[in-house]
Amino acid sequence: MPEWLTQLWPGLEASAALLALEPPGWGGNLLRGAASSLIIAFGAFSLGCVIGVGGALGKLGGGPVARDLLAVYTTVVRAVPELILILLLYYAGTDLLNQALRAFGYRPIEISGLAAGIGVLGIVQGAYATEVLRGAIQSVPRGQIEAARAYGMSRVQTFRRVTFPAMLPLALPGLSNLWLIATKDTALLAIVGFSELTLETRQAASSTRAYFTFFLASGAIYLLMTLISGKVFSWIEAHFRRGQAGARA
Amino acid sequence: MIRALLQPHRLGLLALALALVVWAGMTLRWDWIPRYWELGLAGLWRTLWLLVLSTLIGFLLAVPLGLAQAAGPVWLAAPARWFCTVVRGTPLLLQIWLIYYGLGSLFPQYPWIRQSDLWPYLRQAWPYALLALSLSYAGYEGEVMRGAFKSVPHGQLEAARAYGFSRWSVLRRIWLPQAMARALPTLGGETVLQLKATPLVATITVIEIYSVASRVRQDTFIIYEPLLLLALVYMAIAGLIALGFRWLERRYATGLV
């Protein structure tokens, strides 16, 4: 280690030892936590997008009852803190699933934290994705969709060939924002005891009492995730904006 | 409004919702409410003032942050941009824990802090919660205000300068009011997000409305009822925030070009 660096920051060597990848260092735990955070974020984001597409199509083209129910869904999810939704859906989801299993004569199971986390955060993401995608679909010029229908394309074909590609560049900024929210919302699962990055960090910090070292280190990991995904999304956006009128990368 | 509610399918849905509420009132357990009533009100009060104070402090910090990024010299703009990026790029829960456990373990090492008049406050959790929430709001709103400052047409500022306004009065009388009016719709949404962030401070032992509900859960093993009631409370507060901002928008954001 360079001389001037250790002089500038006397605790550096101790911090580096604490963050070492091999035990007794805690770096490996942090990286494992970061990996499970990423998996949950990715799963929740994908689930959210699927729900969002369904929700947006339902809001735009569904019957009156479906529209009202979707409005209730997006309003409630966007007004109630994620933490409470996570607890409610976590407990209620496990309960309902086990009751259903019991009714069909199976034994109750323990839902894995991973599946529960993905499911719950996915439902939360779905509400936001519904609004993002609805806005994007609405701003596709109506004439294009009508033209596709007039050419004899079915509704599914119209969506796949015209609406979807045309709305994607409009939806991407909102979706990239949602992905960032997903990576940060995984931290909430620490409160229900799922060992993702934030909980691993807290355990490392409280057993070594080196709070600043660990919280700053995992802050850096989160920041790295955010910055890299920002770059990736702007690249994707530039890719899908090719050939659009007034396109700006 | 009324007519929109009287469509046949809405009547059906309303009846269904009413039936759900009646069912919840009859079959779920609400007998814990009288015992925790006062604690709940105290918690609600704490949630509300944490929300109001942190948005006010955060907004006061966000104005210079946004101004520095929109028009400041590089040595001001770069740190401001970094602050916003770091705050927006890391989870609030992590920030809260960093400030509470980090600063909380750092301060007692300095005797002069322990002997200062502030020490009785620094030993409690809420100053750290307030600091973390305010910094977070400042980070997000600094970004919003940057866009808002930039969206005010430059010609107006030049016209004001040409009329002999000083730089300070251009900011006070033209730039800031218009930037705030333009930012209002975003700020409303962000304030609801800030409300949704307040229960996180329960993890550092601040007793607000969420932690009252978790205490009911721990004491009585009743899971759903406190959480459902809590969800209703948050929805009511979020509705009030939305109404308030709609009023502000009607009052201040009309006639913008």
The pTM is what? Answer: 0.88
Confidence of residue B1 (pLDDT cuts 50, 70, 90): low
Does the distance separating the beta carbons of A80 and B88 come in below 8 Å?
no
Q: Is the Cβ–Cβ distance between A172 and A92 less than 8 Å?
A: no
Does the distance separating the beta carbons of A227 and B89 come in below 8 Å?
yes
Q: CA B48, CA B203: separation in Å to the nearest integer?
A: 17
Confidence of residue A1 (pLDDT cuts 50, 70, 90): low
Least confident of A30-44, A224-238, B96-110, B199-213: B96-110
Does the distance separating the beta carbons of B101 and A84 come in below 8 Å?
no
Confidence of residue A46 (pLDDT cuts 50, 70, 90): very high
Mean pLDDT computed over B7-28: 84
pLDDT over 60 (residue A248): no
Cα nearest neighbour of A186 on chain B = B91
Confidence of residue A94 (pLDDT cuts 50, 70, 90): confident
Q: Is the Cβ–Cβ distance between B216 and B36 less than 8 Å?
A: yes
Which residue's structure tokens are 């920002």? Answer: A230
- Interface check for A206 against chain B (CB to CB < 8 A): the answer is yes
Task: Quote the mean pLDDT of chain A.
Answer: 86
pLDDT at residue number A25: 75
A102 in helix, strand or coil?
Answer: helix
ipTM of the prediction greater than 0.90, yes or no:
no
Confidence of residue A108 (pLDDT cuts 50, 70, 90): confident
pLDDT at residue number A2: 66
B28 in helix, strand or coil?
Answer: coil
The domain spans of chain A are 3-240
Of A55-69, A103-117, B99-113, B230-244, the range with the highest mean pLDDT is B230-244
Reading the block at residue B31, the tokens are: 């007998």
Q: CA B71, CA B67: separation in Å to the nearest integer?
A: 6
Nearest CB to A88; choose among B227, B235, B238: B227
Is the pLDDT higher at B223 or at B150? B150
pLDDT over 70 (residue A249): no
Give chain B positions within 8 Å (CB) of A227.
85, 89
Does the distance separating the beta carbons of A201 and B94 come in below 8 Å?
yes
Mean pLDDT computed over B166-192: 92
The shortest C-alpha distance from A209 to chain B (Å) reads 8
Which residue's structure tokens are 């306004």? Answer: B165
Mean pLDDT computed over A139-166: 91
Q: Is the Cβ–Cβ distance between B146 and B140 less than 8 Å?
A: no
Check the CA dihedral A105-A110-A113-A114 and report its sign. negative
Does the distance separating the beta carbons of B102 and A215 come in below 8 Å?
yes
Q: Mutating which of A87, A96, A128, A185 best tests the B interface, going by the most B Cβ atoms within 10 A? A: A87
Q: Which B positions 111-130 lie with beta carbon below 8 A of chain A?
A: none
Q: Is the Cβ–Cβ distance between A71 and A56 less than 8 Å?
A: no
The shortest C-alpha distance from A189 to chain B (Å) reads 10
- Interface check for B105 against chain A (CB to CB < 8 A): the answer is yes
Domain A3-240 in CATH 1.10.3720.10? The answer is: yes
Mean pLDDT computed over B64-69: 94
The shortest C-alpha distance from A151 to chain B (Å) reads 35
- Interface check for B98 against chain A (CB to CB < 8 A): the answer is yes
Q: CA A7, CA B97: separation in Å to the nearest integer?
A: 28
Q: Is the Cβ–Cβ distance between A51 and A122 less than 8 Å?
A: yes
Best CA proximity match to A132, nearest among A73, A83, A183, A177: A177
Does the distance separating the beta carbons of A92 and B91 come in below 8 Å?
no
pLDDT at residue number A88: 85
Q: Is the Cβ–Cβ distance between A104 and A78 less than 8 Å?
A: no
pLDDT tens profile A130-148: 999 999 999 889 899 999 9
For each of the domains in chain B, give its residue range(s) and CATH number, in order of start: 35-252 (1.10.3720.10)
Between B74-89 and B126-151, two packed helices, what is the crossing angle to 10 degrees? 120
Nearest CB to B231; choose among A78, A84, A201: A84
The answer for residues whose C-beta is within 8 angstroms of residue B171's C-beta and 6 or more apart is B67
Does the distance separating the beta carbons of B102 and A211 come in below 8 Å?
yes
* Cα distance between the two ends of chain B: 30
Does the distance separating the beta carbons of B199 and A83 come in below 8 Å?
yes
Confidence of residue B157 (pLDDT cuts 50, 70, 90): very high
pLDDT over 60 (residue A247): no
The DSSP element (H or E) to which A188 belongs, if any, is: none
Give chain A positions within 8 Å (CB) of B239.
79
pLDDT over 60 (residue A66): yes
Mean pLDDT computed over B208-226: 88
What is the percentage of chain B residues whose pLDDT exceeds 70? 98
Cα nearest neighbour of A213 on chain B = B102
Between A211-240 and B74-89, two packed helices, what is the crossing angle to 10 degrees? 100
pLDDT at residue number B251: 87
Does the distance separating the beta carbons of B93 and A219 come in below 8 Å?
no
Residue B117 is classified by DSSP as: T
pLDDT over 90 (residue B42): yes
> Cis omega before residue A24 (within 30°)?
yes
Confidence of residue A246 (pLDDT cuts 50, 70, 90): low
* Cα distance between the two ends of chain A: 42
Confidence of residue A73 (pLDDT cuts 50, 70, 90): very high
Q: Is the Cβ–Cβ distance between A180 and B59 less than 8 Å?
A: no
Amino acid at site A42: F
